[in-house]
Amino acid sequence: MAGDVTLASETRRARFTGGVLLLTTVVFFIALIGADPGIEEHDNRERFIDEVAKVADRVPWIGIALGLQAAMAGLAVAVGVGLYLLARRRAPGLALGGMIMLLLWGLFSALQAMFGGGMVIAAQDYLEPRLIEAESDAVLELLNVMSVPHVISFLATWIALALAVGAFSLAYFRIAPLGGRWFGWVGVVAAVAVLLFPVGFALEPLFGVPFVGALVLLLWLVGFGIWLIVRAERVAADALALPEEPAGPAAPGRPSKGVA
């Protein structure tokens, strides 16, 4: 009876984690395309000012996206803890590492939202000043400064997500070794591709690789979330199974197990 209760509890956890993972992926995607102020032309003053003006025109939509991006901190906690609890018995190290990376994923997303929100406020103040003069060069310099941690937090977000997917992909092999190995390898390869983001900016031949990896990574998250929901009972059963321990050498004069 206790085993049935535990299995039912793990099944509910698997379905809940899968649902939250799908929700988190959708929120992350919306924030990805809507929360970026898009202020990048630092070397061309006219284009820079034009981008600042465009940000001011999109403030309501950017604000919504930034709110969703900040909510990533809480959603990542729910996903990370859920995936850790499902994998901790069979792959404790990978499960713990993956959970930590997901927590950092949410933290860096919230930091990116904070810096992005600061850039939006500065862009508004540049065109509609409150406490400073209109079109102040000081505001443009502030935008330049804030764009640096904004980009850094963007890269850190993707790196943390890639490491989390890589860890849970490997843990997934150990939890469910009888199926879906190819799916786990897709996650690992996509994670490695995303980790090339810093290198891609320096080496032109590799520039597009991280972006393809990022797209595959998002699709992997969607697929994994659906798999957790559809195959919740199997995931729960595999999560409760203990790892097999190799039989030790037989004592002298005694046959090993299974030998007549």
| pTM, two decimal places | 0.80
Domain assignment present for residue 63? The answer is yes
- Alpha carbons within 13 angstroms on the beta-carbon side of residue 9 total 8
If we measure between CA atoms, which residue out of 22, 19, 20, 80 comes closest to residue 219? 22
Domain assignment present for residue 64? The answer is yes
Domain assignment present for residue 7? The answer is yes
**What does the pLDDT read at residue 36?**
75
Domain assignment present for residue 207? The answer is no
Domain assignment present for residue 214? The answer is no
CB crowding 122-158: b at 16 or more within 10 Å, else e: bbbbbeeeeeeeeeeeebbebbeebbeebeebbbbbb
* d(C-alpha 103, C-alpha 258), whole Å: 46
Domain assignment present for residue 29? The answer is yes
What does each of the 260 residues of the chain score in pLDDT, given as a tens digit? 445 558 888 889 999 999 999 999 999 999 888 877 766 655 556 666 666 666 766 777 888 888 998 999 999 999 999 999 888 888 889 999 999 999 999 999 999 999 888 877 777 766 665 545 555 667 677 777 887 888 899 899 999 999 999 999 888 776 655 456 788 888 899 999 999 887 766 677 777 888 899 999 999 999 999 989 988 888 888 777 644 444 445 445 544 444 33
* Enclosing domain of residue 48: 2-154+221-240
**What does the pLDDT read at residue 259?**
39
Domain assignment present for residue 129? The answer is yes
- Alpha carbons within 13 angstroms on the beta-carbon side of residue 132 total 15
Could you give the number of structural domains in the chain?
1
Domain assignment present for residue 206? The answer is no
